[in-house]
Amino acid sequence: GRAAGRESPMAARQPFTDTDTADEAVRATCDDATTCKRFATSKGYWKDPYIQYFVRSVGDRKAPEINRGYYARVQGVNHLLDAFLRKTQCDCQVINLGAGLDTTFWRLKDENLMPRKFFEVDFPTVVARKIHNIKTKPPLSKPIIETHSTDSLLLDAHSLESDRYCIIGADLRDISSLDEKLKKFQLNPELPTLLLSECVLVYMTPSHSSNLVHWAAETFHTAMFINYEQVNMSDRFGQVMIENLQRRQCTLAGVEACQTLDSQKDRFLKTGWEHVDALDMMTVYTMLPQDDVARIERLEFLDEKELLQQLLQHYNICWATKDKLNLGNAHFNVSLMNGHVSCERTSK
Protein backbone atom coordinates (compact mmCIF):
# COMPACT_ATOMS: atom_id res chain seq x y z
CA GLY A 1 0.00 0.00 0.00
CA ARG A 2 1.04 3.54 0.25
CA ALA A 3 3.02 3.13 3.28
CA ALA A 4 5.00 5.85 5.00
CA GLY A 5 3.13 8.38 2.85
CA ARG A 6 3.56 12.08 2.28
CA GLU A 7 2.30 15.51 2.95
CA SER A 8 1.07 16.97 -0.29
CA PRO A 9 2.54 18.27 -3.49
CA MET A 10 1.56 21.26 -5.46
CA ALA A 11 -0.29 22.26 -8.45
CA ALA A 12 -2.71 25.02 -8.99
CA ARG A 13 -6.12 23.71 -9.86
CA GLN A 14 -6.65 24.28 -13.55
CA PRO A 15 -10.20 23.39 -14.47
CA PHE A 16 -10.84 21.05 -17.39
CA THR A 17 -7.28 19.94 -17.98
CA ASP A 18 -6.05 16.37 -18.04
CA THR A 19 -3.77 17.11 -15.10
CA ASP A 20 -6.79 17.88 -12.98
CA THR A 21 -7.67 14.31 -12.01
CA ALA A 22 -4.02 13.59 -11.23
CA ASP A 23 -3.69 16.74 -9.10
CA GLU A 24 -6.86 15.82 -7.21
CA ALA A 25 -5.50 12.32 -6.48
CA VAL A 26 -2.25 13.84 -5.26
CA ARG A 27 -4.14 16.26 -3.00
CA ALA A 28 -5.89 13.26 -1.42
CA THR A 29 -2.50 11.92 -0.27
CA CYS A 30 -2.27 14.96 2.02
CA ASP A 31 -5.17 13.52 4.02
CA ASP A 32 -3.58 10.06 4.03
CA ALA A 33 -0.44 11.40 5.64
CA THR A 34 -2.32 13.43 8.23
CA THR A 35 -4.64 10.59 9.23
CA CYS A 36 -1.67 8.20 9.51
CA LYS A 37 0.18 10.68 11.74
CA ARG A 38 -2.97 11.25 13.81
CA PHE A 39 -3.30 7.51 14.42
CA ALA A 40 0.40 7.02 15.28
CA THR A 41 0.37 9.92 17.76
CA SER A 42 -2.82 8.55 19.36
CA LYS A 43 -0.87 5.34 19.97
CA GLY A 44 1.99 7.28 21.60
CA TYR A 45 4.69 6.99 18.92
CA TRP A 46 5.46 10.69 19.32
CA LYS A 47 3.64 13.71 20.76
CA ASP A 48 1.76 16.15 18.56
CA PRO A 49 -0.88 18.11 20.48
CA TYR A 50 -1.83 20.09 17.35
CA ILE A 51 -2.68 17.43 14.78
CA GLN A 52 -6.10 16.84 16.41
CA TYR A 53 -7.15 20.31 15.18
CA PHE A 54 -6.62 19.22 11.58
CA VAL A 55 -8.01 15.68 11.82
CA ARG A 56 -10.67 15.20 14.45
CA SER A 57 -11.06 11.44 14.56
CA VAL A 58 -8.26 8.97 15.14
CA GLY A 59 -9.68 6.91 12.28
CA ASP A 60 -9.17 3.30 11.31
CA ARG A 61 -6.37 1.25 12.75
CA LYS A 62 -3.10 1.43 10.82
CA ALA A 63 -0.69 -1.50 10.62
CA PRO A 64 2.24 -1.38 13.10
CA GLU A 65 4.83 -1.19 10.29
CA ILE A 66 3.06 1.90 8.90
CA ASN A 67 3.14 3.55 12.33
CA ARG A 68 6.83 2.77 12.75
CA GLY A 69 7.50 4.06 9.24
CA TYR A 70 5.87 7.39 10.09
CA TYR A 71 7.77 7.50 13.37
CA ALA A 72 11.08 7.08 11.50
CA ARG A 73 10.09 9.72 8.97
CA VAL A 74 9.04 12.32 11.55
CA GLN A 75 12.07 11.72 13.79
CA GLY A 76 14.55 11.66 10.90
CA VAL A 77 13.28 14.86 9.27
CA ASN A 78 12.96 16.67 12.63
CA HIS A 79 16.52 15.81 13.63
CA LEU A 80 17.94 17.35 10.44
CA LEU A 81 15.64 20.37 10.65
CA ASP A 82 16.45 21.00 14.32
CA ALA A 83 20.17 20.57 13.67
CA PHE A 84 20.01 23.27 10.98
CA LEU A 85 18.16 25.61 13.35
CA ARG A 86 20.81 25.02 16.01
CA LYS A 87 23.67 25.55 13.55
CA THR A 88 22.23 28.88 12.44
CA GLN A 89 21.07 29.81 15.96
CA CYS A 90 17.60 30.19 14.45
CA ASP A 91 18.82 33.12 12.36
CA CYS A 92 17.38 31.47 9.27
CA GLN A 93 14.15 30.76 7.43
CA VAL A 94 12.33 27.51 6.68
CA ILE A 95 10.26 26.79 3.57
CA ASN A 96 8.06 23.69 3.73
CA LEU A 97 7.17 22.84 0.13
CA GLY A 98 3.94 20.87 -0.12
CA ALA A 99 3.38 21.30 3.60
CA GLY A 100 -0.16 19.93 3.67
CA LEU A 101 -1.59 19.97 7.20
CA ASP A 102 1.86 19.74 8.81
CA THR A 103 2.19 21.04 12.39
CA THR A 104 5.94 21.78 12.54
CA PHE A 105 5.49 25.54 13.07
CA TRP A 106 3.65 24.93 16.37
CA ARG A 107 6.20 22.38 17.56
CA LEU A 108 9.07 24.79 16.91
CA LYS A 109 7.26 27.57 18.76
CA ASP A 110 6.71 25.29 21.79
CA GLU A 111 10.37 24.22 21.76
CA ASN A 112 11.81 27.77 21.39
CA LEU A 113 13.22 26.76 18.04
CA MET A 114 11.52 29.30 15.82
CA PRO A 115 13.34 30.45 12.70
CA ARG A 116 13.02 34.09 11.72
CA LYS A 117 10.22 33.09 9.41
CA PHE A 118 8.48 29.83 8.61
CA PHE A 119 6.91 29.54 5.13
CA GLU A 120 4.54 26.88 3.86
CA VAL A 121 3.47 26.38 0.26
CA ASP A 122 0.79 24.06 -1.07
CA PHE A 123 -2.15 23.72 -3.44
CA PRO A 124 -4.53 26.66 -2.98
CA THR A 125 -7.34 24.24 -2.01
CA VAL A 126 -5.19 22.60 0.71
CA VAL A 127 -4.07 26.03 1.94
CA ALA A 128 -7.68 27.24 2.15
CA ARG A 129 -8.54 24.28 4.41
CA LYS A 130 -5.55 24.83 6.62
CA ILE A 131 -6.26 28.54 7.01
CA HIS A 132 -9.88 27.77 7.88
CA ASN A 133 -8.72 25.39 10.64
CA ILE A 134 -6.28 27.98 12.00
CA LYS A 135 -8.93 30.70 12.02
CA THR A 136 -11.48 28.56 13.85
CA LYS A 137 -9.19 26.83 16.38
CA PRO A 138 -7.66 29.12 19.07
CA PRO A 139 -4.86 26.65 19.98
CA LEU A 140 -3.62 27.08 16.37
CA SER A 141 -4.21 30.82 15.98
CA LYS A 142 -2.92 31.93 19.39
CA PRO A 143 0.76 31.03 18.77
CA ILE A 144 0.65 32.93 15.45
CA ILE A 145 -0.82 36.02 17.08
CA GLU A 146 1.74 35.79 19.92
CA THR A 147 4.66 35.87 17.49
CA HIS A 148 3.19 38.75 15.48
CA SER A 149 4.22 42.25 16.52
CA THR A 150 2.23 44.61 14.29
CA ASP A 151 -1.50 45.28 14.20
CA SER A 152 -2.34 43.82 10.85
CA LEU A 153 -2.12 40.15 10.14
CA LEU A 154 -2.87 39.39 6.50
CA LEU A 155 -5.44 36.69 6.05
CA ASP A 156 -7.42 35.75 2.96
CA ALA A 157 -8.70 32.51 1.50
CA HIS A 158 -5.36 31.42 0.03
CA SER A 159 -2.72 33.12 2.13
CA LEU A 160 -1.86 33.93 5.71
CA GLU A 161 0.97 36.30 6.48
CA SER A 162 2.34 37.19 9.88
CA ASP A 163 5.81 38.18 11.11
CA ARG A 164 6.97 34.64 11.73
CA TYR A 165 4.59 32.34 9.84
CA CYS A 166 3.32 32.48 6.30
CA ILE A 167 1.16 30.13 4.23
CA ILE A 168 0.99 30.56 0.47
CA GLY A 169 -1.19 28.83 -2.11
CA ALA A 170 0.98 28.26 -5.20
CA ASP A 171 2.01 25.79 -7.87
CA LEU A 172 5.51 24.39 -7.37
CA ARG A 173 5.70 23.74 -11.10
CA ASP A 174 5.46 27.47 -11.81
CA ILE A 175 8.79 28.70 -10.47
CA SER A 176 8.51 32.38 -11.40
CA SER A 177 5.12 32.69 -9.70
CA LEU A 178 6.40 30.79 -6.63
CA ASP A 179 9.45 33.04 -6.38
CA GLU A 180 7.35 36.18 -6.75
CA LYS A 181 4.84 35.11 -4.07
CA LEU A 182 7.54 34.17 -1.57
CA LYS A 183 9.37 37.46 -2.06
CA LYS A 184 6.12 39.38 -1.74
CA PHE A 185 5.82 37.81 1.71
CA GLN A 186 9.34 38.85 2.77
CA LEU A 187 11.40 35.82 1.84
CA ASN A 188 15.04 36.90 2.30
CA PRO A 189 17.53 35.21 -0.10
CA GLU A 190 20.43 36.39 2.11
CA LEU A 191 19.35 34.33 5.11
CA PRO A 192 20.42 30.71 5.60
CA THR A 193 17.42 28.73 4.38
CA LEU A 194 16.14 25.25 4.98
CA LEU A 195 13.81 23.79 2.35
CA LEU A 196 11.78 20.73 3.13
CA SER A 197 9.74 18.47 0.86
CA GLU A 198 8.13 15.22 1.95
CA CYS A 199 6.76 13.02 -0.83
CA VAL A 200 6.30 16.04 -3.07
CA LEU A 201 8.96 15.87 -5.81
CA VAL A 202 7.93 12.32 -6.70
CA TYR A 203 4.55 13.62 -7.94
CA MET A 204 6.22 16.09 -10.33
CA THR A 205 7.96 15.28 -13.60
CA PRO A 206 11.77 15.07 -13.32
CA SER A 207 12.13 18.35 -15.23
CA HIS A 208 9.71 20.16 -12.88
CA SER A 209 11.43 18.85 -9.75
CA SER A 210 14.88 19.66 -11.16
CA ASN A 211 13.73 23.20 -11.90
CA LEU A 212 12.51 23.59 -8.32
CA VAL A 213 15.70 22.19 -6.80
CA HIS A 214 17.78 24.35 -9.16
CA TRP A 215 15.78 27.48 -8.23
CA ALA A 216 16.53 26.77 -4.56
CA ALA A 217 20.26 26.35 -5.24
CA GLU A 218 20.34 29.57 -7.30
CA THR A 219 18.30 31.64 -4.83
CA PHE A 220 20.09 30.90 -1.54
CA HIS A 221 23.85 30.98 -0.96
CA THR A 222 23.63 29.06 2.34
CA ALA A 223 20.94 26.42 2.37
CA MET A 224 19.91 22.88 3.08
CA PHE A 225 17.26 20.94 1.18
CA ILE A 226 15.72 17.92 2.93
CA ASN A 227 13.78 15.57 0.66
CA TYR A 228 11.87 12.57 1.97
CA GLU A 229 10.33 10.16 -0.53
CA GLN A 230 10.43 6.75 -2.19
CA VAL A 231 13.60 4.96 -3.29
CA ASN A 232 14.54 1.54 -4.74
CA MET A 233 11.38 1.64 -6.83
CA SER A 234 12.53 -0.70 -9.60
CA ASP A 235 12.08 -3.92 -7.61
CA ARG A 236 8.84 -5.87 -7.19
CA PHE A 237 7.80 -4.13 -3.96
CA GLY A 238 8.33 -0.75 -5.65
CA GLN A 239 6.27 -1.84 -8.65
CA VAL A 240 3.38 -2.86 -6.38
CA MET A 241 3.49 0.54 -4.67
CA ILE A 242 3.31 2.25 -8.07
CA GLU A 243 0.39 0.05 -9.19
CA ASN A 244 -1.54 0.68 -5.97
CA LEU A 245 -1.22 4.43 -6.46
CA GLN A 246 -2.15 4.21 -10.14
CA ARG A 247 -5.39 2.49 -9.18
CA ARG A 248 -6.20 5.71 -7.35
CA GLN A 249 -5.34 7.79 -10.44
CA CYS A 250 -2.18 8.85 -8.67
CA THR A 251 0.85 8.74 -10.94
CA LEU A 252 4.37 8.95 -9.58
CA ALA A 253 5.51 11.25 -12.38
CA GLY A 254 8.97 11.63 -10.86
CA VAL A 255 9.68 8.00 -10.10
CA GLU A 256 12.81 7.83 -12.25
CA ALA A 257 14.69 9.91 -9.66
CA CYS A 258 13.61 7.32 -7.06
CA GLN A 259 15.42 4.32 -8.53
CA THR A 260 18.43 4.38 -6.18
CA LEU A 261 20.06 6.54 -3.50
CA ASP A 262 22.49 7.67 -6.21
CA SER A 263 19.68 8.81 -8.53
CA GLN A 264 18.20 10.72 -5.58
CA LYS A 265 21.54 12.46 -4.98
CA ASP A 266 22.15 13.17 -8.68
CA ARG A 267 19.10 15.44 -8.92
CA PHE A 268 20.79 17.79 -6.42
CA LEU A 269 24.37 17.42 -7.64
CA LYS A 270 23.31 18.31 -11.19
CA THR A 271 21.46 21.46 -10.14
CA GLY A 272 24.08 23.38 -8.20
CA TRP A 273 24.12 21.82 -4.72
CA GLU A 274 27.60 21.30 -3.26
CA HIS A 275 27.16 18.30 -1.02
CA VAL A 276 24.48 15.60 -0.89
CA ASP A 277 23.81 12.64 1.39
CA ALA A 278 21.04 10.05 1.22
CA LEU A 279 20.06 7.20 3.51
CA ASP A 280 17.27 4.70 3.22
CA MET A 281 14.84 4.77 6.14
CA MET A 282 15.89 1.36 7.46
CA THR A 283 19.36 2.83 8.00
CA VAL A 284 17.87 5.96 9.58
CA TYR A 285 15.74 3.74 11.86
CA THR A 286 18.88 2.04 13.18
CA MET A 287 20.54 5.45 13.80
CA LEU A 288 17.72 6.99 15.81
CA PRO A 289 18.15 7.06 19.62
CA GLN A 290 17.72 3.37 20.38
CA ASP A 291 16.10 3.81 23.79
CA ASP A 292 13.24 5.64 22.11
CA VAL A 293 13.06 3.05 19.33
CA ALA A 294 12.81 0.36 22.03
CA ARG A 295 9.98 2.37 23.64
CA ILE A 296 7.93 2.60 20.43
CA GLU A 297 8.56 -1.06 19.59
CA ARG A 298 6.80 -1.94 22.87
CA LEU A 299 3.67 -0.01 21.82
CA GLU A 300 2.49 -2.62 19.32
CA PHE A 301 3.54 -6.12 18.48
CA LEU A 302 4.96 -6.45 14.98
CA ASP A 303 4.74 -10.02 13.85
CA GLU A 304 6.92 -9.88 10.76
CA LYS A 305 10.01 -7.69 11.10
CA GLU A 306 10.62 -8.23 7.35
CA LEU A 307 7.53 -6.14 6.58
CA LEU A 308 8.99 -3.11 8.32
CA GLN A 309 12.39 -3.66 6.73
CA GLN A 310 10.91 -3.95 3.25
CA LEU A 311 8.83 -0.84 3.73
CA LEU A 312 11.67 1.29 5.15
CA GLN A 313 14.06 0.21 2.40
CA HIS A 314 11.69 1.88 -0.08
CA TYR A 315 11.84 5.36 1.46
CA ASN A 316 14.80 7.63 2.00
CA ILE A 317 15.91 10.97 3.34
CA CYS A 318 18.19 12.89 1.02
CA TRP A 319 19.74 16.18 2.14
CA ALA A 320 21.73 18.63 0.08
CA THR A 321 23.69 21.65 1.25
CA LYS A 322 25.30 24.87 0.01
CA ASP A 323 27.46 26.58 2.56
CA LYS A 324 28.80 30.01 1.65
CA LEU A 325 28.70 31.09 5.31
CA ASN A 326 30.76 28.05 6.38
CA LEU A 327 28.27 26.79 8.91
CA GLY A 328 29.67 23.34 8.35
CA ASN A 329 26.45 22.13 6.69
CA ALA A 330 28.40 19.84 4.43
CA HIS A 331 29.10 17.69 7.44
CA PHE A 332 25.54 17.57 8.73
CA ASN A 333 25.83 13.94 9.54
CA VAL A 334 22.95 11.85 10.77
CA SER A 335 24.97 11.40 13.95
CA LEU A 336 23.14 14.64 14.69
CA MET A 337 20.23 12.38 15.43
CA ASN A 338 21.04 12.56 19.13
CA GLY A 339 20.76 15.39 21.58
CA HIS A 340 18.16 18.06 22.14
CA VAL A 341 18.25 21.31 20.24
CA SER A 342 17.13 24.62 21.64
CA CYS A 343 17.65 28.17 20.57
CA GLU A 344 16.01 31.22 22.03
CA ARG A 345 15.34 34.13 19.75
CA THR A 346 13.60 37.10 21.19
CA SER A 347 14.45 39.71 18.59
CA LYS A 348 12.78 39.54 15.21
Residue 80, annotated ligand binder? no
Distance CA 282, CA 137 (A): 37
> Helix, strand or coil for residue 160?
strand
How are beta strands 117-122 and 165-169 bridged, if at all? parallel
Residue 172, annotated ligand binder? yes
Distance CA 254, CA 20 (A): 17
Distance CA 76, CA 269 (A): 22
| DSSP symbol at 302 | -
Amino acid at position 340, single letter: H
Residue 300, annotated ligand binder? no
Q: Is 162 left (phi over 0), alpha (psi -120 to 50) or beta?
A: beta
Beta strands in the chain (DSSP E): 93-97, 117-122, 154-156, 159-161, 165-169, 193-198, 222-230, 275-280, 315-323
- Residue 18: exposed, middle, or buried by beta-carbon count in 10 A (0-12, 13-18, 19+)? exposed
> Helix, strand or coil for residue 152?
coil
- Would you tell me the crossing angle of helices 290-297 and 64-87 to the nearest 10 degrees? 150
Q: Within a 13 Å sphere around the CA of 81, how many CA atoms are in the beta-carbon half?
A: 26
- Torsion angle in degrees (nearest 10) through CA of 260, 261, 262, 265: 130
Residue 73, annotated ligand binder? yes
Residues placed in the known binding site for S-adenosyl-L-methionine: 73, 98, 171-172, 198
Residues placed in the known binding site: 73, 98, 171-172, 198
